[in-house]
Structure 1
């Protein structure tokens, strides 16, 4: 159990290492089998209803119109076929697991909240994807010694393998909707920066004294707030510099065609910067880029009119 003790101690101290399997294929298979079972029960119920309607027994024909007679009907008939009541008894527990529905009022509309397993799978799919750099560090934690011998054996060894990344999730959720610049900085910090100076000046992963490991963890930890702080700083610098630089560049260009080409280029650069330092909606990015281009055109027009 040393391997799981090691992982539990590290995950509890560092949320970004809390990476788990979703087992989506097992959930899908379970849903499909339950669905298939319900399909067969549905067909059995339709068959039972048809038999009652076509029966020569007047009591069985009456079952489609009289609920009291349906409740009083036997579970099986003399020919061994199940009754409607018996089939529904078999369907109810399946519906409880697969398709139980309850209703709640949201914005004055009735919304069906159904299927425990379907909702569970939906929530599994909505979990954030795994952070590749954190997965690499967790994979190292699954090894011991300078030669990185694996702690786990058999199928457990591949639980956090990079080939299983499609089925893994980072429960901290900090990697969802991160801007491109933050992801690039994360990659830079855990590779180039770590190789150059990071491993010497940053703290190593540590655990609670009561969970002290026999084989110490030799791994540097980089808190998640490093990248957002750098991105915020770069955003504050780029926000005034980009428009000012664009105005200066257009001021010294006299050829109208070159100016128009420069406006197109600067607008593209502005849009690319938006995508790099943030996660704007398409409409917001379009509106901001259009406004930036309009300001450049107004500046060029005024500059041309004054004969500068």
Structure 2
């Protein structure tokens, strides 16, 4: 007996399990903020009520030991102060938990634009094929895009070049060749997948090759060039290419790029000086 094809939320769950980049959910930012505000107001009310009860109990000789003995407060014939403490404790636990959860939610990043576009395209195709909408509708629509969070981002620790390969090169490859390779297609979710590790390794090797070729070709050109103008133009062009490569292929800060570019230019000047002294 063949297994029935997944549909609807079952198929969506299969997609998210197969492609972590599709783990996109609502943050419910406004609703969470309102929940925190309501909890805060409840705690504030209970705090005021507790302070009032403490003030009232402080005027009673029978309750004079309450500030020093929790046991007397708990076992008193009128345990209203202790009951209010328990009410405050319960609310505080709920409030503190919600506060910490909100902190974690705010740290989650928005989904990558490309991942969101692919995800929305998949949703539209699934709904059009089955002629049914995911209910309630518009959970991932444009009007809620600012409220979406991604549990995983494959681009978080990658450089701009690797991100370009993910979003442009892989998409082009899929249109030209990849869509014909049925081995890459996941049967349950109905999507083609590409190994993130393979893509990162390929871009890393390419970056190594470029980083080796730049100084090597620069030294060779400067060695053979004799015209001062041509030498200066070569240094300028290579410096610009070097800075662009650093910015695109390396996750470096601006100050690090500036320092590396200065060092690269200094090496080229040293090459020229050494060449002149030997000639």
Contact 1:274/1:285 (8 A) holds in 2: yes
Cα deviations by residue, 1:129-175 (Å, 9 ceiling, x for unpaired): 423333333323324589667531553x3223344344334444423
Distance 1:49 1:226, change over 3 A: same
1:299 aligns with 2:279: no
Alignment of structure 1 residues 249-268 onto 2, 5 Å: 249-251=221-223, 252=225, 255=228, 259=232, 266-268=238-240
2-side partners of 1:63 and 1:253: how far apart?
A: 95
Do structure 1's residue 205 and structure 2's residue 185 form an aligned pair?
yes
Residue 94 of structure 1 pairs with residue 83 of structure 2 = no
Q: Which moved more, 1:295-304 or 1:85-94?
A: 295-304
Aligned counterpart, 1:279: 251
- Following superposition, the deviation at residue 253 of structure 1 comes to 6.6
Q: Does 1:122 align with 2:122?
A: no
For the pair 1:134 / 2:115, whether they are aligned, the reply is: yes
Structure 1 residue runs without a partner (length 5+): 77-82, 100-115
Among 6, 10, 16, the residue aligned to 2:15: 10
Out of 155, 161, 164, the residue aligned to residue 141 of structure 2 is: 161
Give the equivalent residue in structure 2 for 1:236: 208
Residue of structure 2 in register with 1:270 after alignment: 242
1:248/1:98 CA distance change after superposition, 3 Å: same
Alignment correspondent of 1:246: 218
More strand by share: 1
User: Cα RMSD over matched residues?
Assistant: 3.8
TM score, norm. by length of structure 1: 0.69
Identify which of structures 1 and 2 has the higher relative contact order when contacts are C-alpha pairs closer than 8 Å and 6+ apart.
2
1:268 Cα deviation after fit:
4.9
Hey, what does 2:48 align to over in structure 1? Answer: 43
Q: TM-score, normalised by structure 2?
A: 0.75
The CA distance in 1 between the partners of 2:135 and 2:20, in whole Å, is 27
